[in-house]
Amino acid sequence: MPSFDVVSKVDWAEIGNALDQARRELAQRFDFKGTGATLDRTDQAVTLLANADDRVDAALDVLKEKLVRRKVSLKHLEVGDIQPAPRGCSKRLLTFKEGIDQDHARAIVKLVKQTGLKLQAAIQGDAVRVSGKKRDDLQVIMQKLKTATDIDLDLQFVNLRD
């Protein structure tokens, strides 16, 4: 029986490349000279640090631009609030979310059932497996999930099996 998995994964290598490009641009741009603007990466988060709130926002814009150029969806990015940091600086925490949470998984299952096609959808951890008898029906569901407006995730379709 043909099936595929719906996942929401982040390409960490591309995020690393975008961070490197953003760091280089922050080091070279005239409007960031003397602001102490830095990008520090931990496991699944990035900390923006600068001496003023507007410089933190500008550094965030630079990072977003680099992520878009590297074809990383901004739907994975969760932007925290600006917080005070030591020595009169400001910081902002950015986290990258990966996987499909239970609410979005239920929405995907509901969308599959609403189509009226003979398909089954099962939630498996942070992925949703869709299976059916016809490969064409699976392709129809893929198109519907790509164009769905109520699912605010960057979805990938992996593990297509016949």
Give pTM, 2 decimals: 0.84
Residue ranges of the domains in the chain? 3-8+99-161, 12-96
> What is the assigned CATH class of domain 12-96?
alpha beta
- CB-based burial, 97-115: b 16+ in 10 Å, e otherwise: eeebeeebbebbbebbeee
Q: What is the pLDDT along the chain (162 residues), one digit of tens a residue?
A: 899 999 999 999 999 999 999 999 999 989 888 888 889 898 889 999 998 888 899 999 999 999 999 999 999 999 999 898 888 889 999 999 888 989 999 999 999 999 888 999 999 989 999 999 988 989 999 999 888 878 888 889 998 888
User: Backbone phi, then psi, for 139, in 5-degree steps?
Assistant: -70, -35
| Domain 3-8+99-161 coded CATH 2.40.30.10 | no
Domains 3-8+99-161 and 12-96 share a fold: yes
